[in-house]
Structure 1
């Protein structure tokens, strides 16, 4: 492939913003691409995929290139050599010796360098998951597949798959997962008629396992207390066939505004959005829910495939703080469940300290609750990493 200077410059500027301004990769890329509407699909894909891959392999590429942390041209050049893309004769690449770089790619490196993660994260992973860590972190460096959830409020999965095909979107049904459609090739699906008609949501299969795990039934009163922009809220609404009530709650009102737009597109009419203003909001709902979903804030280690920049933004201090928040949410929000009702505690982390250990701590302090079931979705299974625990109030 021929490399164009303007596209390479866009990658370098995007990387600089991500690492030096501590911005989220998806937001920076979105801005970069919006500022250049004349770029075609191939150019946009090159910029996005190259940026994400360099972010993903940042530490490894630094070790191979021997360059400074902020020499993004050398990182790009090293990545191009790795991918067997010929280096153009540009001044920015003059310090790179292609054969020397290729030799360095053949060297053995310690796991945190080879898998491109901070040392502290490797130590934490080895402590918490000694037998699984190497396998899971390797899997988290694979590019994530794009998975859709067929919206059963609009039709069955086979009908929706056919309608997607008419839109030029080819998918494969995975029989292990109820309504999952896996894209045959990466593409932007958000401009399609099928998306505008609410036929699907983009949602990884790990995430798609959580709403069914809650065992919500049509006619129930269900609370999704950490709803965010509402991917799991919409799934619950579909599982309940638009019958009953799903109360979507979050501390951030703008996220619920986004949820309302998504609900309208999806034809989900049984959703009520409620901002959590303070502890009184929760107290008013004491013993009101047949089912409660607590998809709590977490480290996000299970979704590094999708958000590779997160590993460079995380810190031990942040993980410690988020575990305290998880404990508070579980103990305070569980009061919303009726006697005989159930809740699901879920995260997109793979660390036991955020998952089963939090559940054990809660059950030890709250004897009126019991664990019914729990499930892990591991990155090494090919998708995102999630944990979910189903807990019943006696």
Structure 2
């Protein structure tokens, strides 16, 4: 495919996303229906789509449009990159149709990047400006600017199987270039050949797992000790379960309200050389654990570099619903924590409503509990936005 044809495909996919389809779903559907596209084409189109979604407000404004569309987003992206739209909007060989006079007129009066209002320039929904400023303080602008860029690719070195130098060397054998990351001792950042990871011997043999550096650091700070009973209550795919198991020899149990999310966990645990039990809700009745990890459902506001469409679909009502679910999960965990045990509460959110305010409300509802440690990571630290708090009984 030509560069112009790739932009044409990105426009079609973006229109599907703007009509309500999830970005990954729209990309997958297009790829299945477009067998002529090679892997390089699919990767380039994916980049165009995600770059446009990260910068939806600013690209729309720079195209002179009042509402986002696939064409407006691609026009805005070309203008932001200093490229001439007429070179690509030719209508030839699957390229986008030539610019209309209306589009030319809009472009002629559209503001430059430096003249955009703050919320538009930072690609932030208006209703989230104040909550994010409250949460991030002086780092607000830097973090929001980071969300407009692509996220780094991080791997977690399975310390039960290899050390960082050995993992980096094994990855290099398969054309994946990586380097240690200072956020935590198990994290390495991929700086070349990221698309080769899943077929690399290091990945297939369990030496490394895909995992952002921030949750790696949060897990590394947990008070794990040999032989303790640990429950990952909202396990999802089980990444944090495996991270804990690689750090400390203990009794690990994974649970999720949607068990299908854990379908790959047994194989991943086998590959990593660690033991994990998988239990449903009824099997937890009467059980008590020394540590209960709650990586609760959240807005995902810390992961907007990776899932930028989530930024635009989050609403105040949706956030309110999530806060209620988080409170219910926290309160329910009290009954399965041993008397001297602890709750580790985690979100991939930067919003106070899901983080410190949630912890304060839990302590107010449950006398005798207190927060003995907490930390919020932001993209300034290198990884995703992530919050972790450790709760214990007095």
The question of whether the paired residues in 2 share the 8 Å contact of 1:82 and 1:102 is answered with no
What's 1:239 paired with? Answer: 247
The question of whether the paired residues in 1 share the 8 Å contact of 2:58 and 2:113 is answered with no
What's 2:229 paired with? Answer: 221
SS for the counterpart of 1:93 is coil
**Structure 1 residue 39, shift from structure 2 partner:** 3.3
The question of whether the paired residues in 2 share the 8 Å contact of 1:225 and 1:292 is answered with yes
The question of whether the paired residues in 2 share the 8 Å contact of 1:59 and 1:113 is answered with yes
Please, what is the CA RMSD of the aligned residues? 2.4
SS for the counterpart of 2:198 is coil
Q: Greater shift after overlay, 367-376 or 298-307?
A: 367-376
| Deviation digits for residues 158-210 of structure 1 (CA, Å, limit 9, x no counterpart) | 11111111011110112441111101136212122222112211111111112
CA distance in structure 2 between the partners assigned to 1:342 and 1:141 by the alignment? 37
- Structure 1 residues 299 and 238 mapped into 2: Cα distance closer, same or farther (>3 Å)? same
- Structure 1 residues 169 and 129 mapped into 2: Cα distance closer, same or farther (>3 Å)? closer
The question of whether the paired residues in 2 share the 8 Å contact of 1:294 and 1:344 is answered with yes
SS for the counterpart of 1:346 is strand
**Structure 1 residue 77, shift from structure 2 partner:** 2.7
What's 1:206 paired with? Answer: 214
What's 2:261 paired with? Answer: 255
SS for the counterpart of 2:291 is strand
Q: Greater shift after overlay, 224-233 or 338-347?
A: 338-347
**Given the alignment, which residue of 140, 152, 160 partners 1:153?**
160
SS for the counterpart of 2:350 is coil
1:84 matched to 2:52? The reply is: no
SS for the counterpart of 2:338 is strand
What's 2:94 paired with? Answer: none
How many residue pairs were aligned?
Answer: 384
What's 2:378 paired with? Answer: 378
| Deviation digits for residues 33-90 of structure 1 (CA, Å, limit 9, x no counterpart) | 3444553443222111110011111111111212363641232133123223442352
Q: Greater shift after overlay, 68-77 or 366-375?
A: 68-77
SS for the counterpart of 1:218 is coil
CA distance in structure 2 between the partners assigned to 1:103 and 1:118 by the alignment? 20
Query: Where does the alignment leave 5 or more consecutive residues of structure 1 unmatched?
Result: none
What's 2:361 paired with? Answer: 361
Alignment of 1:110-121 (within 5 A): 110-121=117-128
CA distance in structure 2 between the partners assigned to 1:187 and 1:68 by the alignment? 37
The question of whether the paired residues in 2 share the 8 Å contact of 1:10 and 1:47 is answered with yes
The question of whether the paired residues in 2 share the 8 Å contact of 1:18 and 1:25 is answered with yes
- Structure 1 residues 368 and 89 mapped into 2: Cα distance closer, same or farther (>3 Å)? closer
What's 1:264 paired with? Answer: 270
The question of whether the paired residues in 2 share the 8 Å contact of 1:73 and 1:93 is answered with no
- Structure 1 residues 107 and 388 mapped into 2: Cα distance closer, same or farther (>3 Å)? closer
CA distance in structure 2 between the partners assigned to 1:217 and 1:34 by the alignment? 47
**Structure 1 residue 343, shift from structure 2 partner:** 1.8
Q: Greater shift after overlay, 139-148 or 376-385?
A: 376-385
User: TM-score normalised to the size of structure 1?
Assistant: 0.90
Query: Where does the alignment leave 5 or more consecutive residues of structure 2 unmatched?
Result: 92-96
1:347 matched to 2:356? The reply is: no
Alignment of 1:1-394 (within 5 A): 3-5=3-5, 7-20=6-19, 22-67=20-65, 69=67, 71-86=69-84, 87-91=87-91, 92-95=97-100, 96-97=103-104, 100=107, 104-185=111-192, 187-188=194-195, 189-240=197-248, 243-268=249-274, 270-276=275-281, 282-285=284-287, 288-394=288-394
| Deviation digits for residues 342-372 of structure 1 (CA, Å, limit 9, x no counterpart) | 2211111111221112112212222332322
CA distance in structure 2 between the partners assigned to 1:80 and 1:229 by the alignment? 37
CA distance in structure 1 between the partners assigned to 2:273 and 2:343 by the alignment? 25
CA distance in structure 1 between the partners assigned to 2:89 and 2:23 by the alignment? 29
**Structure 1 residue 129, shift from structure 2 partner:** 4.6
The question of whether the paired residues in 2 share the 8 Å contact of 1:81 and 1:102 is answered with no
